[in-house]
Amino acid sequence: MRSRYLMMAMVGAMGLSGCANLGQVPAWEKGNLAKPSMGFDTDVLGQKFDQHIYASRENSSGGYAVGGGGCGCN
């Protein structure tokens, strides 16, 4: 039983060590991180279509993260 807790603690420590800060990004590599292809949503046309649908449903702009049909019955 004690070895199980020890093993779980070691696995947890190894998992958290992957989140450690390994240093700063050099200045010459920051340009690569700023490229549009490094974004979470790389489909620009699809993103604009989704924004249009949400704006139409909410009958206003800025309702991108809100669900519902605009009738107040979310």
Q: Any idea where the domains of the chain sit in the sequence?
A: 41-67
Name the percent of the chain lying above pLDDT 90.
7
Tokens for 29? 């590599």
Which residue, among 66, 64, 71, has the nearest Cα to 49 in the 3D structure?
64
What is the rounded CA–CA span in Å between residue 58 and residue 52? 10
- The reported pLDDT for the residue numbered 59 is 64
pLDDT at 58 exceeding the cut of 70: no
pLDDT at 47 over 80: yes
Residue among 60, 61, 59, 57 nearest 69 (CA): 57
- Mean pLDDT computed over 14-21: 75
Nearest to 68 by CA among 57, 56, 60: 57
Confidence of residue 33 (pLDDT cuts 50, 70, 90): confident
